[in-house]
A and B are shown apart, each in its own frame.
Chain A
Amino acid sequence: MQLNILNIDFDPQLSFEKPNITSSVNTQNSNPRPMNNSFKNTSLLVIMFILSFNLLNAQSKQFDTRKMCFDFHSYYCKFEEKLINFDYNAQSRSTLFRRGETSEMYFIAYKGYDYRLSFCAQEDLLEGQKIAFFIRNGKTKELIYENSSENFPQEFEFSCTSSTRILVEVSLPPETGNKLKAGNKFEYKGCLGVLIESRRSPSTGFSRK
């Protein structure tokens, strides 16, 4: 999995400043007081080290952990049954998630197509539990399906009989386990993904009232 942590851009000023400091040290070499000179050299090196350390820290803070999860679903969400002829649907989505949180995803399902949704998350986020999800009509919010009614399967498959906007609500129960007991002040955050796959329905046929 490609992680964006590799894409951190370091400030070019950081590398640019080094020759300047070296240059000033060289200038100091002409100073007739060698002890003071060594002291200054050491001090400069230490200051440079401290500044570099803090600059690196500042840079790493710019890294957005949300980007880490970007295509999590492509690698970790797998439908249990190996069915053929389903294609990846670009409406799939992953996000950074924390326990106790709820996410909403609206996607479009077209008439005459079968869809399967696969849900997955990092093990540390799940802590042995399963993702709860609700499928709703995107317009009326009417509940169509909830996986708690079937012992929390982590996938859902349906045929779309008229094109519609669908709302998928995903949630995880709040953190109550070992992590909080261990004194962690903040909830654990991890990646959660919804993989959408689709195919032309094998059988269709509708009549109008």
Chain B
Amino acid sequence: MLKNIRLSTLIVSSLLMMAMQSCKNAETEKEQAEETEQVNDEQRQRFFQIPAPTELFELLKLEGIKPGKKINLNPIGNLSKYNDSQSKALNFGVYTTNLLFCSAFNQKTEVLKYFENLKQLAEDIGISNVITDQTLTRIEKNLNNNDSLDVITNDVFFEASDNLERQGKQDVLILVVTGSWIEGVYLATQMADKFNSENEIMQRIAEQKFSLENLIDYYNTIPNAEMHEEIKNKLVSLMDAFESITEVQIEANANPENGKTIGAGSELRITENQYIEISKIIANLRAFITKQ
């Protein structure tokens, strides 16, 4: 009797489960069909990539440009000002660029201090696994090895970005990228003592227009980006200033090994007034982000 009841219960349950699964499969198929339809409608995925701040620092180093005066990095003590999620993400980006700058320009004593700030902010934005005690140990061991230090600090930047993207936190990632990019350009303007049209650093700052275009387009791909509308609008204002830079025709004399060249034809040429205006907007935006 007991066996019969158990058997009946199991059969009924199995049938119930199969029915539920069948409904679920139908639902999944419907969802997939809708998804396929949606992709067919749009057909295109778009990605807007932003160079890491290290690329800009490398360019400046290769041109022989060094921090000639005391550079105004974001002070370590400002960490306590960042209490909301937006400022935490933005300043994680700012401090990451500070860390990369210290590593690139051999300011070793500062590296460990900035690392501590990053560790705290990484916990707050949900990527504590990126900046661990093991990373700190690696940095400490390689403080006198510039190449290794560069690799480790770059890894911190890449891992943080990767981790946020893996978690689907695009809305946080874009703030990190924004803070990081603004700080990179701000430090470049700090390194340029005063305007000199022959100084390569002016050209490199003008070229940041391309990265800014990608950054603004990137904002347009982020769901719920309206919560970052204020910061996006400030970037759009900065873009207006960059748009005033004119393109001049150039002739390429390059003779690359494999024959293909891209970019020959024009180059951005920034004037003193444009440079002053752009530097001013960047400094204001940086002050807004770092709450100084």
Which A positions have Cβ atoms within 8 angstroms of B? 4, 7, 35, 38-39, 42-43, 46-47, 49-50, 53-54, 57, 61, 64, 67, 70-71, 89-91, 93, 95, 97-98, 101-112, 114, 135, 138, 144-145, 156-166, 185-187, 200-209
Contacts and interface: CB of A to CB of B under 8 A. Distances in A.
A49 B168 CA distance: 31
Contacts of A46: 9-10, 13
A144 B262 contact: yes
Contacts of B158: 90
Contacts of B45: 95, 97, 101, 103-104
A161 B50 contact: no
B66 interface: no
Contacts, number: 184
A39 B263 contact: no
B227 interface: no
Given A70-B165, A160-B263, A161-B254, 6 more contacts: A4-B166, A38-B6, A39-B5, A105-B49, A156-B260, A202-B257
A3 to B, nearest CB: 10
Nearest to B1: A35
B9 A39 contact: yes
B262 A106 contact: no
30 contacts: A35-B5, A43-B9, A46-B9, A50-B16, A50-B20, A61-B28, A67-B168, A90-B49, A90-B52, A95-B45, A95-B47, A108-B211, A109-B263, A110-B51, A110-B55, A111-B263, A112-B59, A159-B258, A160-B261, A160-B263, A161-B261, A161-B262, A161-B263, A162-B263, A163-B267, A164-B210, A204-B254, A208-B250, A208-B267, A209-B249
Interface size class of B (residues with CB under 8 A): 35 or more
A166 B48 contact: no
Interface of B: 1-2, 5-6, 9-10, 13, 16-17, 20, 24, 28-29, 32-33, 36, 39, 43-52, 55, 59, 62, 157-158, 161-162, 165-166, 168, 203, 207, 210-211, 213-214, 217, 248-258, 260-268
